[in-house]
Structure 1
Amino acid sequence: MSRLPHILLARSGICAIVLAAAAGPAAASDHVVTIEQMRFSPPTVKVHSGDTIVWVNKDLVAHTASAQASTFDSGSIAPGASWRYVASKPGSYAYQCLFHPTMHGTLIVEPKP
């Protein structure tokens, strides 16, 4: 058996270790909540501090994403528009659409890993 495949595998393993070490702490992520058919989907979103949540309104009417604890409030999100929020403080935040109070969601913010 040739030694070349073993050398390549060894070099690949070293590269993988170097790349993993260079990655460092987890980068912030984007999460999407779709507003469609008069509901938030997914209804519960779990994120880390520093992550961005984007609410995208695919309905034919305006909606809001308004935390019941006044932590965040999108204001009116027009049909076809979106709103971004960067989660900063860990906790669980119930929210709803102020125009349509039967629409509920929950944003869970965990500490950054």
Structure 2
Amino acid sequence: MIKRNEIRQRIHSRIRAKLAGTGERPRLNVYRSLNHIYAQVIDDQKGVTIVSASTLATKSKTGGNVAAAKEIGKAIAEKAQEKGVKKVVFDRGGFLYHGRIKALAEAAREAGLEF
């Protein structure tokens, strides 16, 4: 029996083969668990996480909904702009571009990130 997470990881490795974050255009990676959502802006050339945001770090009661994803999208965009990052490459992490992933991406775009 094939597990759902194994399928997601396979899809994610296919996505990662095609895109990588550079110094001038880092990668915005998103991970969604049942109760939380996490976002990181990563420079793959240096192997360094520039900024990160998550519902776990913000101590919000629920992270498993669209409203929390919008908050994290806005937060990651603001933190990235403080570090001088305006353009990113969006990495959906093997998840479908739908629901919480889409909400986070649209909130980050509205807050000023370009991708």
Regarding TM over 0.5, the answer is no
TM-score for the superposition, normalised by structure 2: 0.30
Which structure is larger by alpha-carbon Rg, 1 or 2? 1
Larger helix proportion of the pair: 2
User: What TM-score comes out, normalization by structure 1 length?
Assistant: 0.30
Which protein has greater RCO, CA pairs closer than 8 Å, 6+ apart?
A: 2
Q: Of Structure 1 and Structure 2, which has the larger fraction of its residues in strand?
A: 1
